[in-house]
Amino acid sequence: MPYRYVVQIGDEVLRKKSEEVKKFDSELWALLDDMKETVRAEDGAGLAAPQVGVNLRVVVIDLEEGFFEMVNPKILSFKGEQRGEEGCLSVKGKHGVVTRPNKVKAEYRDRHGKKHTVTGTGLFARCMCHEFDHLDGVLYVDRAEVVYDNAPQEAQ
Ligand code: CO
């Protein structure tokens, strides 16, 4: 399970609309395994395939609620609003203030192609919105009301 390099803002792979996964095969499983290793090595909450240079609709989320592998995810409904800070492994050294829905219901397929639905609130909802945006070439800085440089002690 090799770590994969996380591409940074400015790379056009982050700006493309990613394609749906059609084959739930060993190539997809290797991508998911590598994304898990990478998001943990980077101490992130989530990672989308374009961030490792692959324009496929694949996301991993690593939070208290558990570790989720989400293939071809889609938001079914959302509710409420939360305003808070956000960062991204592809925009190192910065954070910003973004308003997102507070509750998100989504469907996705697992690595075997089986369909699931999940409802997340708070950070989980924020994380789904952020990661799913990556699949359409959208970065949080596009939605942020303000973006700050991290303080020197937290600069990466
Ligand atoms: Co991100």
- Distance (angstroms) between ligand 1 centre and the Cα of 26 equals 25
Q: 118-128 pLDDT, tens per residue? A: 999 999 999 99
- Distance (angstroms) between ligand 1 centre and the Cα of 110 equals 21
Comparing CA positions, the residue from 111, 102, 86, 103 lying closest to residue 33 is: 111
In Å, what is the CA distance from 83 to each residue of 10, 55, 147? 26, 29, 13
On whether the CB atoms of residues 88 and 99 are closer than 8 A, the answer is no
Q: 3-33 pLDDT, tens per residue? A: 999 999 999 999 999 999 999 999 999 999 9
pTM recorded for the entire structure: 0.95
SS3 content of the chain, % helix, strand, coil (to 5): 30, 35, 35
Q: Tell me which residues are annotated as active site.
A: 131
